[in-house]
């Protein structure tokens, strides 16, 4: 994991809003999200639920895309480095091979690209590859064997990462809701316009919500343009991200309460004079949870893909220990950024308060779930 010192330097530099630094800032934030998804025992529940909810649609998409390809190229964007990293790719390969065998056809070769940030622990990830390859070879050794080549592809996915028309299948889980930067325009003549919030919330002004939406439009369009050049015609992407159920961007509801609970926790600290109010007002997360309509609109406007399917899931964690579990996974994802902005000494009491706020929400019957959107896109022949 990166040191706090490196993250502090990064976060400070991101305030200059240069394109290179902002992409790197996005990348480091994504890195911490995926780190927490691999930290037992708290986040494994979250990760397992996300993967299981989209596995069927992932495998059916891979089956249709790779049916007639001799060398199948797969890219996993935001792969992380834990033991669950290769599970989705493993199941995709297994499904394609089973369908080829049922049709009495020769098994394809596989080229797997694992994409994450340069700071990702690729050494730990690659140490898992020999076992991964041997397992697949043992399952599908019919005399001719199976060839699976694995390569790292470090860098942000907000931009080109692979050669033109080189990919057949792309997956990305729990990553695309992160923006490439904190939206510009959250300061008006040096004054913050999202006071008391760390993300857009029911308490945020319409202008704040608009700034976040505009940044999402810019980033997601860049992502689609980049992938449209890298995928072959007919290639598919399975993308799963946090989202929201309401199509009304300005509707005063909160569908992902972990950030609002953090805002409330910080406001308690302000009232107790443990944190300066100005510190809270100047802190915002680079995150956007789109609706299905917003995703559909962006796909249509970019024009390179058709939507095979789009599903929305709601995970409502109403069990007694849910606040503790979610607060710990949230802490793992955000701690370094919070440490830099507010100081390390605040972390323990802040997340104790965060857990308590979530418990209060749960006891009030409000729920502490989240919305997840999975979309399957097919590269069209129009571009």
The domains of the chain, with CATH numbers, are 4-379 (3.40.50.150)
pLDDT category of residue 347 using cuts at 50, 70 and 90: very high
Q: Pick the residue with more confidence: 102 or 259?
A: 259
Cα 80 from Cα 114, distance rounded (Å):
9
What is the reported pLDDT for 21? Answer: 34
What is the separation of C-alpha 185 from the centre of its chain, rounded to a whole number of angstroms? 24
Segment among 31-35, 86-90, 167-171 with least mean pLDDT:
31-35
Beta bridge partners of 240: 173, 374
Cα 81 from Cα 17, distance rounded (Å):
29
- Contacts within 8 Å (CB) and 24+ apart, 20-23: 22/180, 22/181, 23/156, 23/158, 23/159, 23/180
Q: CA of 50: how far to CAs of 33, 76, 242, 372, in Å?
A: 14, 15, 10, 8
What is the reported pLDDT for 366? Answer: 78
pLDDT of 40 > 70? The answer is: no
User: What percentage of the chain exceeds 70 in pLDDT?
Assistant: 79
pLDDT of 210 > 60? The answer is: yes
Nearest 5°: phi and psi at 72? -90, 125
What is the reported pLDDT for 194? Answer: 93
Q: Pick the residue with more confidence: 62 or 259?
A: 259
Q: What is the average per-residue pLDDT within 53-79?
A: 75
- DSSP code for 346: G
Q: pLDDT tens digits, residue range 95-140?
A: 888 888 888 888 889 999 999 878 788 999 899 999 888 888 777 6
CB burial of residue 5 (10 Å; 0-12, 13-18, 19+): exposed
Residues in the chain: 383
What is the reported pLDDT for 193? Answer: 93
Q: CA of 17: how far to CAs of 158, 180, 184, 326, in Å?
A: 15, 10, 8, 31
What is the reported pLDDT for 108? Answer: 87
Cα 226 from Cα 164, distance rounded (Å):
9
User: Which single residue is written with the structure tokens 């979610």?
Assistant: 326
Q: Is 97 helix (H, G, I), strand (E, B) or coil?
A: helix
Nearest 5°: phi and psi at 107? -70, 145
Q: Which of 233, 245, 258 is nearest to 355 (CA)?
A: 258
pLDDT of 25 > 50? The answer is: no
pLDDT category of residue 144 using cuts at 50, 70 and 90: low
Q: pLDDT tens digits, residue range 275-299?
A: 999 999 999 999 899 999 999 999 9
């Amino acid at each position: 994991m990166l040191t706090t010192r490196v993250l502090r330097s990064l976060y400070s530099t991101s305030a200059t809003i240069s394109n290179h630094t902002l992409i790197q800032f996005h990348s480091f934030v994504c890195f911490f999200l995926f780190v927490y998804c691999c930290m037992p025992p708290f986040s494994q529940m979250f990760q397992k639920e996300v993967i299981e909810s989209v596995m069927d649609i992932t495998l059916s998409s891979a089956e249709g895309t790779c049916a007639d390809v001799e060398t199948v190229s797969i890219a996993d964007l935001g792969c992380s480095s834990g033991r669950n990293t290769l599970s989705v790719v493993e199941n995709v390969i297994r499904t394609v091979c089973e369908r080829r065998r049922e049709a009495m056809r020769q098994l394809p070769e596989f080229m797997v690209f694992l994409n994450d940030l340069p700071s990702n622990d690729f050494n730990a990830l690659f140490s898992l590859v020999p076992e991964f390859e041997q397992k697949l070879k043992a399952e599908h050794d019919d005399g001719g064997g199976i060839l699976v080549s694995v390569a790292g592809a470090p860098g942000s996915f907000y931009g080109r990462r692979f050669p033109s028309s080189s990919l057949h299948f792309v997956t990305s889980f729990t990553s695309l809701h992160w923006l490439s930067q904190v939206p510009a325009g959250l300061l008006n003549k040096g004054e913050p316009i999202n006071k008391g919030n760390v993300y857009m919330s029911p308490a945020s002004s319409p202008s704040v919500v608009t700034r976040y939406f505009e940044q999402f439009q810019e980033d997601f369009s860049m992502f689609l343009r980049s992938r449209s050049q890298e995928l072959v015609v007919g290639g598919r992407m399975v993308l799963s991200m946090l989202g929201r159920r309401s199509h009304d961007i300005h509707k005063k509801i909160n569908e992902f309460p972990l950030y609002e609970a953090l805002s409330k926790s910080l406001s308690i600290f302000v009232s107790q004079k443990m944190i300066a109010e100005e510190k809270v007002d100047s802190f915002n997360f680079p995150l956007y949870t789109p609706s299905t309509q917003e995703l559909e609109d962006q796909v249509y406007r970019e024009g390179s893909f058709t939507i095979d399917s789009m599903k929305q899931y709601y995970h409502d964690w109403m069990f007694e220990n849910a606040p503790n579990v979610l607060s710990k996974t949230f802490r793992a994802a955000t701690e370094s950024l919070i440490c830099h902005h507010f100081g390390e000494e605040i972390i323990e009491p802040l997340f104790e308060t965060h857990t308590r706020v979530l418990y209060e929400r749960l006891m009030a019957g409000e729920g502490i779930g989240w919305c997840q959107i999975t979309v399957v896109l097919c590269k069209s022949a129009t571009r």
